[in-house]
Amino acid sequence: MDKTEIKERLNGVFRDIFDDPELSVSEETTSADIEDWDSIEHINLIGAIEDEFSMRFKMREVSGMKNVGEMIDIISERGQ
């Protein structure tokens, strides 16, 4: 899948989860950049992304992703 499309759909998920219509993520975005992105919200975020792209992250990936860029890489491999 095209990474621009992934990023666009990811933005939709991030905006819903954090209820911020202005929010826009880049490859470099990490949880430190978004105030409400804590470990609890991370669970919802992962769930919503899995739903959006009809895929599952592996356990190692959930705890290992360093930034949105890595997330996009995984989605581009397995997402739909």
Which residues of the shown chain bind other proteins in the complex (CB under 8 A)? 13, 16-19, 40, 43-44, 47-48, 51, 59, 62-63
Cβ of residue 29: shortest distance to other proteins, in angstroms? 18
40: Cβ contacts below 8 Å, ≥ 6 apart: none
Cβ of residue 75: shortest distance to other proteins, in angstroms? 16
- Taking the least distance from each CB to other proteins, the nearer of 18 and 76 is 18
- Taking the least distance from each CB to other proteins, the nearer of 13 and 72 is 13
- Taking the least distance from each CB to other proteins, the nearer of 33 and 56 is 56
Q: How far apart are CA 62 and CA 43, in angstroms?
A: 9
Please give the structure tokens belonging to residue 47: 């769930």
Q: What share of the chain is helix, strand, coil (3-state, %, to 5)?
A: 60, 0, 40
